[in-house]
């Protein structure tokens, strides 16, 4: 009767423990939206062809630029840092994998002691008269050699889900490295085009310096012949010195841009090989952006956010499993004796044990609830971050496509303005020589023509950079 009651109590206790462990708080994770518009803003749906499908060596044809990018991909410290992050994530997978496999260790242990007479061990030793044998030491030693094993049975897939989450974070680190590659290529290309633009602005500045020096000599001759005044001479000389000042400003910008490129390619400052004469021949091609749905596959940062979202979903399941009962099995096998010479005497020295524990949290559930709640909050956070990353990618592509369209129209109008101002400079100089135009008209016309040429070069640079930014925004470069 007592035995039956004991079984009833043990069964009720086990049921209570299991019930307490299986009750989890009702928190609903967020499901991230994967929908994107059918077309980019300001455009109509087109075919699936876009520059992101091209390798960067096919997209960039300037041999000097491709050499710089190739060097950057080999030497960039930022990429090397990203590679170490990948290795750390890869090691984390092995750590998580080892947690759900059985742990087996081999050990040797020796101890010596004399238990009290009225302890269980002491009374037992006295009962069998083990210490009265003169061959046995007093106090008594104990020596063990054996294998010891423990294994947490992954009933609720807590450990397996943790390993899967680590694997997803490894994939996210790979995508992070791909995103770094994309940005690095874009930074090198935009800096290279900026350097070419500065070279051309410097060439125009030097041409204008020669023109203005000739103009100063001309106005001095006209002053000697009393056809103009000292005021005109000073105004022309002031314009010349202002242009000379701009020359040194541009040279400083060239130095800084070269050093920025050298930093990106992972080398100390040195001259950057380029052909500045090819700048004016560069024509931004027509870019087909494809459809927005391709961003989900082409953009490394979107795929990185997706992998992190999947990992956070598994983290929630891992945290939920902490509420359930955990089963752990332990065991050992080996030899044990009170003398080293008797340790391998069988079967008297054989040692083996096996045990199983089934435990569920009952008292400390508030801490587990907090961990579970934090995992859910992190999952919601990564879901919002995924949606934000997709939205940001769509906006970037839309902005750059609009930039390409508007810059193309602006460049055409500015080119017409430069052509008209070049004619105006020739006309104003001719009129000034024949005393039919004031010197201020010549000065203003030369200044406007110089600024228009600067603006035209800058617009060309912005066009090329917008082309690079579209390539980057669409997810090109990493493959």
- Across 4-13, 128-137, 221-230, the highest mean pLDDT is recorded for 221-230
Q: What is the side-by-side strand order in the sheet with 140-153?
A: 103-113, 140-153, 326-337, 350-359
Q: Is residue 245 part of a domain?
A: yes
pLDDT score, position 31: 85
pLDDT at site 176: 93
Residue 13, pLDDT above cutoff 80: no
Cβ-contact 372, 318 below 8 angstroms: no
- Residue 141's pLDDT is 78
Residue 54 lies in a domain: yes
Distances in Å between the alpha carbon of 293 and those of 55, 284, 286, 315? 20, 25, 21, 28
Q: Say whether pLDDT at 3 is over 70.
A: no
Find out whether 247 and 454 touch, Cβ atoms under 8 Å. no
Is the pLDDT at 24 greater than 70? The verdict is no
Helix (H) or strand (E) holding 249: helix 230-264
Q: In this structure, is residue 369 part of a structural domain?
A: yes
Query: Between 158-224 and 230-264, two packed helices, what is the crossing angle to 10 degrees?
Result: 160
The answer to whether residue 58 sits within a structural domain is yes
Residue 112: what are its φ and ψ, rounded to 5°? -140, 140
- DSSP letter string, 279-320: TTT--PPPP----GGGHHHH-HHHHHHHHHHHHHHHHHHHHH
Q: Does residue 1 surpass a pLDDT of 50?
A: no
Rounded mean pLDDT, 448-454: 84
* Structural domain boundaries, residue 421: 28-85+162-296+365-473
Name every residue whose Cβ is closer than 8 Å to that of residue 456 and which is 6 or more positions away in sequence: 411, 414, 415, 418
pLDDT value of residue 306: 95
CATH of the domain at 224: 1.20.1600.10
Q: What is the mean pLDDT of the chain?
A: 84
Domain count, the chain: 1
Give the Cα separation of 274 and 260 in Å (integer).
Answer: 15
Residue 301 counted as domain residue: no
pLDDT of residue 12: 46
Write out pLDDT tens, residues 49-77. 677 788 999 889 899 999 999 999 999 88
pLDDT at 448 over 60: yes
- Whether residue 2 has pLDDT greater than 80: no
15, part of any domain: no
pLDDT of 116 > 80? The answer is: no
pLDDT above 50 for 254: yes
Q: Is the pLDDT of residue 21 over 70?
A: no
**Which of 390, 395, 413 is CA-nearest to residue 469?**
395
Question: Which pLDDT band holds residue 435 (cuts at 50, 70, 90)?
Answer: low
Give a yes or no: residue 59 inside a domain: yes
pLDDT score for 447: 79
Average the pLDDT over 24-50 and give the result: 72
Asked if residue 94 is part of any domain, the answer here is no
Q: Please, which pLDDT band fits residue 134 given cuts at 50, 70 and 90?
A: very low
- pLDDT tens for residues 401-415? 889 889 888 988 888
Rg, the chain, Cα only: 40
Instruction: Please write the tens of the pLDDT for every residue from 360-394.
Output: 887 777 888 888 999 999 999 999 999 999 999 99
């Amino acid at each position: 009767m007592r035995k039956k009651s004991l079984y009833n109590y043990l069964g009720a206790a086990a049921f209570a423990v299991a019930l307490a462990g299986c009750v989890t708080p009702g928190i609903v994770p967020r499901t991230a939206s994967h929908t994107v518009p059918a077309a980019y803003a300001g455009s109509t749906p087109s075919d699936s062809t876009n520059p992101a499908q091209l390798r960067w060596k096919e997209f960039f044809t300037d041999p000097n630029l491709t050499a710089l990018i190739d060097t950057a991909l080999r030497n960039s410290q930022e990429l090397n840092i990203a590679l170490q992050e990948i290795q750390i994530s890869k090691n984390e997978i092995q750590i998580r994998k080892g947690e759900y496999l059985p742990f087996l260790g081999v050990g040797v242990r020796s101890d010596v002691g004399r238990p009290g007479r009225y302890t269980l061990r002491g009374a037992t030793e006295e009962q069998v008269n083990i210490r009265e044998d003169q061959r046995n030491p007093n106090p008594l030693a104990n020596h063990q050699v054996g294998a010891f094993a423990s294994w947490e049975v992954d009933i609720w897939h807590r450990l397996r889900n943790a390993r899967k989450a680590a694997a997803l974070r490894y994939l996210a680190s790979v995508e992070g490295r791909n995103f770094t590659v994309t940005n690095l290529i874009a930074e090198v290309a935009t800096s290279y085009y900026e350097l070419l633009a500065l070279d051309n602005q410097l060439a125009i500045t030097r041409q204008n310096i020669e023109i203005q020096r000739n103009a100063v000599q001309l106005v001095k001759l006209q002053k000697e012949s009393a056809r103009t005044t000292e005021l005109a001479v000073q105004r022309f000389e002031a314009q010349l010195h202002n242009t000379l000042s701009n020359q040194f400003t541009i040279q400083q910008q060239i130095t800084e841009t070269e050093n920025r490129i050298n930093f990106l390619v992972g080398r100390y400052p040195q001259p950057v090989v380029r052909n500045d004469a090819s700048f004016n021949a560069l024509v931004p091609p027509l870019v087909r952006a494809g459809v927005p749905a391709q961003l989900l596959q082409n953009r490394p940062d979107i795929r990185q956010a997706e992998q992190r979202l999947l990992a956070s979903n598994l983290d929630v399941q891992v945290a939920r499993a902490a509420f359930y009962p955990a089963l752990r099995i332990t065991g050992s096998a080996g030899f044990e004796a009170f003398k080293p010479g008797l340790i391998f005497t069988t079967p008297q020295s054989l040692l083996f044990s096996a045990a199983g524990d089934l435990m569920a949290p009952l008292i400390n559930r508030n801490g587990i609830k907090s961990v579970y709640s934090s995992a859910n909050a992190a999952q919601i956070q990564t879901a919002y971050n995924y949606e934000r990353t997709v939205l940001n990618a769509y906006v970037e592509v839309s902005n750059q496509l609009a930039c390409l369209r508007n810059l193309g129209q602006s460049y055409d109008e500015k080119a017409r303005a430069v052509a008209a101002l070049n004619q105006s400079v020739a006309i104003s100089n001719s009129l000034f020589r024949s005393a039919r135009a004031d010197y201020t008209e010549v000065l203003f016309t030369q200044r406007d023509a110089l600024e228009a040429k600067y603006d035209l070069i800058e617009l060309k640079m912005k066009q090329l950079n917008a082309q690079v930014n579209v390539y980057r925004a669409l997810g090109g470069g990493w493959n």
